C-alpha cells in the first residue's frame, strides 16, 4: 500500500474514532511516516504512528498498535501543554521531526498548523539542531534510574534505552529521523555518510554486540520468537507496551528483526531483540501456567550473557561507562553539524 493511502485510512480513523472526544485538540502523524514520500510503499514491517493531542494535562496511556482497514496504526496521546509553542517543539528531539513536514491530520483550533509551519521553517537552524542534540543527551542521562530490587527486565531497560538514545543524539545532528526499532541501522548509514563508520563500533560495544555473529543473533531471534508466541496469549497484561505483543504487531517485533538480520544488519537488530525479550519476560510473569513463567528465562539470560550482562553490577558498570562516553559522542555531533550541508545559520 502506498503511504498516501495508508495516511488517508489513518485520517479516517482519527475522524471517526478520536475527534469525538470532548478533550480532542488535534492529531498529527508521528515518526518515520513523515520522512517517506506519499508515493513510497509502506513497508510491511512498519506501522503508521498517530499522535492524538488532548486538552488534558493527564492524557491516558497510549492506545497502542491495532489493525484498521488493513493498516497497522499505533496511536498515542499527548497533552497540548507539551506542544504549546513552536520553540518548545523545536527543542525536543522526539517531536520536532514530526513537524518538519506537513503532518497535521486534524486541528480543531488551527494551532497545530501554525506550530508546524514555524517548526518547518526553523527546523534546520543550527541553534535548534544543537538544542535537540542536547535534549537527546539529557534523555540519556536522566533515563538511567537503576534499582536492584526490580525484576531483571526492569533492571535492564534503564540501561538499554539510554544506551540506544546515543544513536538519536547523532541522528538528530544529521537531521535524520530518530527512529525506534531501526535506530542502529540508521545511525550506521549516517556515520558512513560522514566518514565516521569507525565510531559505529563504539556504539555497538556499548550495547555489547560488536562481536556477535549472525548465527548467534539468529539463534536469539528463534528463542525470542517462541517466547513471543506464548507471551501474546497472556490476556490483558497491564503494560503500556501490551499491544506490541500481539499477532498484529508480530510483523514488526519478529519479522522486522528477521528482515534486519537477513539484510546483513544482524548486530543492529540486537537492540530491539533485547527490548522485546524484556517485554515478553514481564508479560510471561503473569502467565497462569507457572511453568510458562520460567520456561523462557534461560533464553533471555543467554541473550543478556552474550551482551555482557550477567549481574546487576554489570548493569551499573555499563551505565557508568555510558555516561563517560557522552563527551566522545558529542565530538562526533560537533563534526556532523559543522559539515552538514543542510544546517542553516
Answer yes or no: do 287 and 146 share one domain: yes
Residue 106 contacts residue 16 (beta carbons within 8 Å)? no
Q: Is 228 helix (H, G, I), strand (E, B) or coil?
A: helix
Residue 154 contacts residue 241 (beta carbons within 8 Å)? no
Give 16's contacts (C-beta < 8 A, 6+ positions apart): none
Distance in angstroms (rounded) separating the CA atoms of residues 85 and 132: 15
Answer yes or no: do 240 and 321 share one domain: yes
- In total, the chain counts a number of residues equal to 345
Q: What is the pLDDT of residue 201?
A: 97
Average pLDDT over residues 219-246: 96
Answer yes or no: do 143 and 256 share one domain: yes
Looking at per-residue pLDDT, the higher value among 293 and 169 belongs to 169
The predicted model scores a pTM of 0.95
Residue 221 contacts residue 269 (beta carbons within 8 Å)? yes
Answer yes or no: do 113 and 175 share one domain: no
Answer yes or no: do 105 and 162 share one domain: no
Q: Is 307 helix (H, G, I), strand (E, B) or coil?
A: coil
Answer yes or no: do 134 and 84 share one domain: no
Tell me which of 123, 154, 188 is where a domain ends. 123
Tell me which of 90, 123, 156 is where a domain ends. 123
18-63 tens-digit pLDDT: 999 999 999 999 999 999 999 999 998 899 999 999 998 889 989 9
Distance in angstroms (rounded) separating the CA atoms of residues 40 and 146: 42
> Strand 104-107 to strand 64-68: parallel, antiparallel, or no bridges (unpaired)?
unpaired
Residue 134 belongs to a domain:
yes
Please name every residue paired with 65 in a beta bridge, in sequence order, or none if there are none: 74
Looking at per-residue pLDDT, the higher value among 291 and 5 belongs to 5
Count CB atoms within 10 A of the CB of residue 303.
Answer: 26
Answer yes or no: do 301 and 166 share one domain: yes
> Of 324, 272, 280, 314, whose CA–CA distance to 155 is shortest?
314
Tell me which of 123, 144, 162 is where a domain ends. 123
Residue 337 belongs to a domain:
no
Reported confidence tier of residue 290, pLDDT bands at 50, 70, 90: confident
Answer yes or no: do 110 and 132 share one domain: no
Looking at per-residue pLDDT, the higher value among 289 and 184 belongs to 184
Distance in angstroms (rounded) separating the CA atoms of residues 207 and 309: 10
Answer yes or no: do 298 and 314 share one domain: yes
127-144 tens-digit pLDDT: 999 999 999 999 999 999
Residue 341 belongs to a domain:
no
Distance in angstroms (rounded) separating the CA atoms of residues 5 and 11: 10
Average pLDDT over residues 151-165: 97
233-271 tens-digit pLDDT: 999 999 999 999 999 999 999 999 999 999 999 999 999
Tell me the C-alpha to C-alpha distance, in Å, between residue 41 and each of 5, 7, 44: 10, 11, 9
Residue 223 belongs to a domain:
yes
CATH (domain of 32):
3.30.460.10
Reported confidence tier of residue 13, pLDDT bands at 50, 70, 90: very high
Answer yes or no: do 290 and 160 share one domain: yes
Answer yes or no: do 118 and 141 share one domain: no
Residue 276 belongs to a domain:
yes
Q: Is the C-alpha dihedral spanning 42, 260, 137, 77 positive or negative?
A: positive
Number of domains into which the chain is organized: 2
Answer yes or no: do 98 and 221 share one domain: no
- Domain carrying residue 32: 3-123
Residue 155 belongs to a domain:
yes
Pure H helices in the chain: 3-13, 86-90, 111-122, 126-142, 152-173, 183-193, 197-207, 214-231, 250, 256-262, 270-284, 290-295, 297-306, 312-339
Amino acid at each position: 500500500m502506498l503511504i498516501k493511502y495508508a495516511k488517508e485510512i489513518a485520517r479516517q480513523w482519527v475522524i471517526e474514532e478520536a475527534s469525538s472526544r470532548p478533550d480532542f485538540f488535534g492529531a498529527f502523524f508521528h515518526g518515520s511516516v513523515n520522512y517517506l514520500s506519499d508515493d513510497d510503499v509502506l513497508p510491511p514491517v512498519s506501522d503508521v504512528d498517530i499522535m492524538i493531542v488532548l486538552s488534558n494535562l493527564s492524557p491516558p496511556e497510549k492506545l497502542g498498535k491495532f489493525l484498521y482497514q488493513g493498516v497497522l496504526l499505533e496511536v498515542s496521546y499527548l497533552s497540548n501543554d507539551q506542544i504549546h509553542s513552536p520553540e518548545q517543539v523545536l527543542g525536543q528531539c522526539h517531536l520536532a521531526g514530526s513537524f518538519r513536514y506537513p503532518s497535521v491530520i486534524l486541528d480543531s483550533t488551527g494551532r497545530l498548523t501554525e506550530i508546524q509551519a514555524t517548526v518547518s521553517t526553523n527546523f534546520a537552524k543550527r541553534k535548534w539542531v544543537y538544542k535537540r542534540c542536547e535534549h537527546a543527551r539529557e534523555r540519556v542521562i536522566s533515563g538511567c534510574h537503576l534499582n536492584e530490587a526490580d525484576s531483571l527486565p526492569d533492571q535492564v531497560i534503564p540501561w538499554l534505552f539510554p544506551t540506544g538514545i546515543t544513536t538519536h543524539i547523532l541522528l538528530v545532528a544529521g537531521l535524520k529521523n530518530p527512529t525506534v526499532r531501526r535506530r542502529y541501522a540508521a545511525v550506521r548509514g549516517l556515520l558512513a555518510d560522514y566518514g565516521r563508520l569507525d565510531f559505529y563500533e563504539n556504539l555497538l560495544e556499548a550495547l555489547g554486540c560488536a562481536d556477535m555473529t549472525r548465527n548467534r543473533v539468529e539463534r536469539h531471534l528463534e528463542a525470542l520468537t517462541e517466547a513471543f508466541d506464548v507471551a501474546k496469549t497472556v490476556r490483558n497484561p497491564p503494560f503500556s507496551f501490551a499491544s506490541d505483543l500481539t499477532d498484529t504487531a508480530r510483523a514488526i517485533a519478529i519479522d522486522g528483526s528477521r528482515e534486519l538480520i537477513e539484510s546483513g544488519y544482524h548486530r543492529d537488530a540486537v537492540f530491539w531483540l533485547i527490548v522485546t525479550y524484556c517485554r515478553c519476560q514481564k508479560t510471561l510473569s503473569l502467565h497462569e501456567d507457572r511453568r510458562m513463567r520460567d520456561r523462557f528465562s534461560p533464553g533471555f539470560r543467554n541473550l543478556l550473557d552474550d551482551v555482557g550482562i550477567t549481574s546487576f553490577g554489570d548493569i551499573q558498570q555499563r551505565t557508568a561507562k555510558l555516561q563517560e562516553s557522552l563527551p566522545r559522542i558529542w565530538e562526533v555531533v560537533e563534526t556532523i553539524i559543522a559539515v552538514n550541508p543542510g544546517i542553516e545559520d
